[in-house]
Amino acid sequence: MPEKPVNVNSQCPYCGVGCGLEILPPAEAGRAVRRDADGTPMWATRGDRNHPSNLGQVCIKGATVGQALARGRLRQPLYRTSLSEEFKPITWDKAFELLVDRIKQILKDKRQHAIAMYGSGQFHTEDYYLAQKLLKGALGTNNFDANSRLCMSSAVAGYSRSLGSDGPPCCYEDLDHCSVAFLIGTNTAECHPVLFQRLIKRKKRHPRNVSIVVVDPRATATSKAADLHLAIAPGTDLALLHGIAHLILRDTGFDSDFIEEATEDFAIYAKLVSEWTPDRVIAICGIQESQLREVARLWGRSKGVLSLWSMGVNQRREGTAVVGGLINLHLLTGQIGKIGAGPFSLTGQPNAMGGREAGGLAHLLPGYRLVDNPSHRAEVEKVWRMKPGSIAAEPGLSAWQQVEAMEANELDLWWVAATNPLVSMPNLERVKAAVRQCPLVVVSEAYTGSETADYAHLLLPAAQWSEKAGVMTNSERRVTLCPAYRPAHGESRADWKIFAELGCRLGFGDQFNYSSAAEVYSEFTTLTKGKVCDVSGLSHELLQEQGPQQWPFPLDSEPSSSSKRLYTNWHFPTASGRARFIAEQPLGLAEPPSEAYPLILTVGRYLGQWHTMTRTGKVERLKAMHPEPLLEIHPDDAERCGVKHGNLAAIRSRRSRVTAKVNITADIRIGSVFLPMHWGFNQDLACEANALMHEQACPISKQPELKATAVVVTQA
Ligand code: SF4
């Protein structure tokens, strides 16, 4: 950390757009110094003009992040033996002693799989990497999963199945070149605002050169800017994608050269989509035939089609199949590996991509390796300097499986780091009951008052972004160094340091002896050599000197010379070198509407709030933008349910009941209602939307269907 404050450059710690920020010391922000309640001067932030991902643009969350860094912070480790007691301060030494004693006992009993960690896309890559080394290497359990499981694991699985590897093949510049932007299951205007503004700017400059298509049951700020809005019935997206393919094959033309040269399994796919006739698709999706024909024409006849998606596609019990259905359209039309085209998954968290690279899910190892591959395990054990066979051969427990394990009294230690699952998980009452049964719940957290902390025995104060150095990778595969520019708050420590110290105290002193985050990163990069996500040419030093870089960035690469797009040579990392068509029949929603629960609830996000509000909830300007959660309901449904605009409504599913103020709006489809997911039980206006949602998940990605559940709405 610099001794005297100077301007620093970093990446925004909120969404996966990963905007570059310029951070101005309190005294040099060009205006009166703002201070926190305790007198701490606030740092100011603005968009970094030199960062290629945002070119100086920034949204209100990134512009105000400096105001949330010092408020409501956890200052020292706290401990209690049972949830009914008050927390008492303890030293770090005591906290480590407690952890070491408990872990050693568990290992002595050969119950290493009774330990699990639930991490976060808020981690830096160094935090992610050492968490893998600690759990998967030192402790011998693959029970590390992250909130990315709830966010984009269907994208990971979908890319891997269709293209042979994870890794979005596109870049943000494609927004400046595409002729069609096909946005499905994403409210980009609110959830990835800087990217959306880039697209809108282009549309304004060249209205005839770009068409925006939005597929969403709800009219959003995104769909209102679209040329074509397909307000399909919830859960019918795969039927729509097959219907588009049907018309492309039958009428508008496909890319036979690309299919012939670069793909496999086309015949099986063509047979399947031949069943998805326009009549069938429009009946299921609830759209007009002219809309279906228009979107098929755009896909079949346009120069560059860029598809963008996020949780509306991923958070589905057939999320991987829907991602496959979307990539199929790109293969059918040859819209991949070229300028302005490709399937582009937008990540929710700022470093979800880095987590994927570091192996931060229960079935992964660093460098896009797999736990169930013996040579992958051996390669990682060698770099980790662990005994052969240290890494278990079976994938660990995914997010929801960790909850089930606690329910079955199979977990002795559950460690949550940098996230708040007691707001973000589905079926929250079941989660609360399960967590109460776990004998030791550890929560590493920067702030006080998180809902998950209410269920912890041991609270560890974590240094957050701005107080620790590390790298993050954004949605376009761009890696940015985020330096430490403020002192750590109280006794808080960087997550990677906590993991390293614990590793040393557990007897792995040689393997966890790091003097800096740069050293941790350096070890991680060696594990990416020759992989799709190769960053072996990157280091903290290079990123500091040369600025953010996109991967692949192999050893000896020239800065800024790396490939902006993947698969430009039509060669894919599958066994055959060809991309695969995925032929799967749509399943629809796991919990469709019924007589007792006649409406479909979908949940989402507001522009000015982030995830579970632990940080954005502390910024007055953001709170004023969205003072409360609102239930969106169509006028016809409101009348049927007997609820009035501005009054409180009760929303009940098979699992729980919440209340929210009613916003009657024609923006939502008849039969659907919407709630934001931000407000947990510790907020003044609690509205635990995810408590209503079910946990049924995609069998491939294990991502729960957080996007849709059946509810009934009544007057509260
Ligand atoms: S768009 Fe995302 S990354 Fe960019 S400033 Fe806003 S929240 Fe931060």
Q: What is the pLDDT of residue 2?
A: 47
Using CA atoms, how far apart are residues 421 and 122, in angstroms rounded to an integer?
A: 13
How is residue 12 written in tokens?
Answer: 């925004």
Q: With beta carbons less than 8 A apart as the criterion, state whether 188 and 196 touch.
A: yes
Q: What is the pLDDT of residue 34?
A: 72
Q: What is the pLDDT of residue 3?
A: 47
CA of 351 to the centre of ligand 1 (A): 12
Q: What is the mean pLDDT of residues 26-53?
A: 77
> Residue 714: enclosing H or E segment and its boundaries?
strand 709-715
Of the candidates 331, 356, 232, 251, the one whose C-alpha atom is nearest the C-alpha of residue 298 is: 251
Q: With beta carbons less than 8 A apart as the criterion, state whether 242 and 325 touch.
A: yes
Answer whether 0.75 is exceeded by the pTM: yes
**In the predicted model, what is the mean pLDDT of the chain?**
95
**N-to-C CA span, the chain:** 53
Name which residue sits closest to atom 8 of ligand 1, judged by CA: 62
Mapping DSSP onto H, E and C, the string for 141-199 reads CCCEEEHHHHCCHHHHHHHHHHHCCCCCCCCHHHHHCCCEEEEECCCHHHHCHHHHHHH
Q: Is 280 left (phi over 0), alpha (psi -120 to 50) or beta?
A: alpha
Tell how far CA 86 is from the center of its chain: 34
Which residue, chain included where needed, has tokens 């949204």? Answer: 59
Span 489-520, pLDDT tens digits: 999 999 999 999 999 999 999 999 999 999 99
CATH code for the structural domain at 78-151+350-511: 3.40.50.740
Pocket test for ligand 1, best of 11, 17, 346, 472 (most atoms within 8 A of CB): 17
Q: With beta carbons less than 8 A apart as the criterion, state whether 549 and 50 touch.
A: no
Best CATH choice for the domain 599-715 from the list 3.40.50.2300, 2.40.40.20, 3.40.718.10, 1.10.3330.10? 2.40.40.20
Span 352-371, pLDDT tens digits: 999 999 999 999 999 999 99
Q: What is the pLDDT of residue 338?
A: 96
Query: CATH 2.60.40.4210 in the chain, residues?
Result: 8-68
Q: Is the CB of 470 under 6 A from ligand 1?
A: no
Q: Is the CB of 59 under 6 A from ligand 1?
A: yes
Q: What is the pLDDT of residue 684?
A: 87
Q: Is the pLDDT of residue 135 over 60?
A: yes
Name which residue sits closest to atom 6 of ligand 1, judged by CA: 59
Query: CATH 3.40.228.10 in the chain, residues?
Result: 168-345
**Which is more confidently placed, 263 or 66?**
263
Which CATH superfamily includes the segment(s) 168-345? Dimethylsulfoxide Reductase, domain 2 (3.40.228.10)
Q: With beta carbons less than 8 A apart as the criterion, state whether 188 and 308 touch.
A: yes
Q: What is the pLDDT of residue 38?
A: 63
Q: What is the mean pLDDT of residues 57-65?
A: 95
Using CA atoms, how far apart are residues 371 and 496, in angstroms rounded to an integer?
A: 22
Of the candidates 449, 497, 461, 453, the one whose C-alpha atom is nearest the C-alpha of residue 74 is: 461
DSSP E strand stretches across 560-693: 579-580, 599-604, 630-633, 648-652, 657-664, 672-676
Amino acid identity, residue 47?
Answer: G
Helix extents (H) in 58-169: 60-64, 92-108, 125-132, 153-163
Q: Is the pLDDT of residue 37 over 90?
A: no
Amino acid identity, residue 546?
Answer: Q
Q: What is the pLDDT of residue 31?
A: 60
Span 268-285, pLDDT tens digits: 999 999 999 999 999 999
Span 213-267, pLDDT tens digits: 999 999 999 999 999 999 999 999 999 999 999 999 999 889 999 999 999 999 9
DSSP, collapsed to helix, strand or coil, labels residue 113 as: helix
Of 333-342, 554-563, 693-702, give the lowest mean pLDDT range.
554-563
Q: What is the pLDDT of residue 361?
A: 97
> Residue 444: enclosing H or E segment and its boundaries?
strand 440-445
Pocket test for ligand 1, best of 9, 10, 11, 12 (most atoms within 8 A of CB): 12
Q: Is the peptide bond before 554 cis (omega within 30 degrees of 0)?
A: no
User: What's the CA angle centered on 682, arms 680 and 686, to 5 degrees?
Assistant: 55
Q: Is the pLDDT of residue 574 over 60?
A: yes
Using CA atoms, how far apart are residues 489 and 121, in angstroms rounded to an integer?
A: 21
Name which residue sits closest to atom 4 of ligand 1, judged by CA: 19
Using CA atoms, how far apart are residues 158 and 406, in angstroms rounded to an integer?
A: 29
Pocket test for ligand 1, best of 22, 45, 59 (most atoms within 8 A of CB): 59
In ligand 1, the atom with minimum distance to the C-alpha of 350 is 3
Distances from the Cα of 689 to the Cα of 188, 370, 631, 651, 684, angstroms: 21, 34, 10, 9, 15
Q: What is the mean pLDDT of residues 609-634?
A: 92
**Which is more confidently placed, 28 or 127?**
127
Q: Is the CB of 58 under 6 A from ligand 1?
A: yes
Q: What is the second-level CATH architecture of the domain 8-68?
A: Sandwich (2.60)
Q: What is the pLDDT of residue 26?
A: 74
Q: What is the mean pLDDT of residues 76-95?
A: 98
Q: What is the pLDDT of residue 323?
A: 98
User: What's the CA angle centered on 146, arms 141 and 149, to 5 degrees?
Assistant: 110
Query: CATH 2.40.40.20 in the chain, residues?
Result: 599-715
Q: What is the pLDDT of residue 652?
A: 98
Span 456-494, pLDDT tens digits: 999 999 999 999 999 999 999 999 999 999 999 999 999
Give the pLDDT band (50/70/90) at residue 629. Answer: very high
Q: Is the pLDDT of residue 154 over 60?
A: yes
